[in-house]
Structure 1
Amino acid sequence: MAEKIILKNLTLDQKREAFERTLAKFEEPGVKLVLITEEYYDLALTFARDYFMKEEPINKGLGMQWSDELKEFWMNSFKLNLSLMFLNEQNEEPIALRTTRIARYDDKSNIEAVKDERIKQMIRYIVHCDQKANYFEHFPTKEAFHFLGLAVAPKYKKCGYASKIFNVAVDMIRNFGIDPVYLKVEGSSNYSKKIFEKAGCETLFEQRFDTWEVGGKIPIQDTGIHESMKVYGMRIRTKPQQCERGVIDHTV
């Protein structure tokens, strides 16, 4: 498949420009929208440690603990300068986080280089789901924006912020002006799945936690009401067009 690689070559200026276009339309009383660049790395890391780690079903099911390895993973995401946060406008307190990376068809996971066995199991599970979803065969692209780490601070839950920051992140992608451009996202909680499906994401694969085995054992346990992870995909256009087979036209 011949295709010019675009996403990995986006400059910081292009990212800031897309963000500023998104910011110009952003209206949420009491909320400040920020692009996670260097001045926000520490705040975003603390938010990921304190909230995402404790709430995300796979982390809970594996008994994941914050570590230097996980910190490095999150920092690698934030350094792409594609992720967003909502802050309380009055006191700069973090409200919500939406982490964005870039996925490539030829991405490889070096599981053996990972020291923490719990992180290894998480990677194995994600790789298994990716292989089954076959994203880059389903969509005619070699790269996609990849949403990770959707989280809302407990005191701000049930206010619609998870859905709002998802929509804002999609809008920022659209403001790069790349047409077509694709989104890849996983949902491991019932709440995030509702958001993604309401937005028009297409389900590519679903794996229950209690039926995934490694060496005859089920690594991910005690996830409560959250029973599975789904892999989703979506095509985002800058202008509405007719839907194509295997492709979802979506505007927010």
Structure 2
Amino acid sequence: MKPTWTLCLLALALPPAMATDIASPSGGWNRSGLVDKSGQATVAYPNAPIDRGAQSKRSMIKGRIAAAGGKRAPHQLVVNGNPLRLMTDEQGHYARPYLFGAGSNSVEVKSPEGKSLRRVQFYETNSGRPLPGLRVICAWDDTEAEIDLHIVTPDGQHAYFGHPVLTNGGGLDVDSVDGPGPEMYTMTAPLRGNYHVYINYWGKLGANGYHFDESKRQMEMITARVTLVYNENTPREKREEFVLPMRSIGELTLVKSFTF
């Protein structure tokens, strides 16, 4: 029998002229899986992420941002306080993956200037969605860049795109490629010991696929934001954020080593 869950949704009031929407179905964001074994993908922008099977019950946050004066600058999607660059298709539709935990969750769309345009708050009561003891989220600001998240756990295991599922219960949620992320590592019951968090500026996406030609970069320097969340959605929640410049393709950066 498949698990069921209930979400209580509250969309905050906004002016009648609001041009931003968050599609929040009455049953909540409860899609399980982004790409199944048949290869059928759920659309995300600018491209669909790769589901490597590390987690379950992922959600695709969807909506639309109307253009102002024919232009639609990149907005920001803030999920539980975690900011993500938000890109759209030509009609203004957006779709970004996320793995919600139990408890109170919020989804907010902000303008390029940081103004809140739309916010939805909901409470996840499904007991099948445990509270993450450790979550690491990586996002970046160049839609053609591919940045990979790497986590080394106390027992010496290494989570990355080529080995997303660890035997200790941790794993990468989604391998978000060809877009601004997120890449997310989640562990419900973290092992005690030392963790090491790295990010790797793997490459760029061009008309002919991935390349490693520095001369074709659109941005001289891109910025990655890594957020560490401990004991999410509990009174003991603690957060740390790191903003890191990424200057060269192939660059490997140690974000933080810490003891849990």
Is this a same-fold pair by TM over 0.5? no
The TM-score normalised by the length of structure 1 is 0.29
Which structure has more relative contact order (CA 8 Å, sep 6+)? It is 1
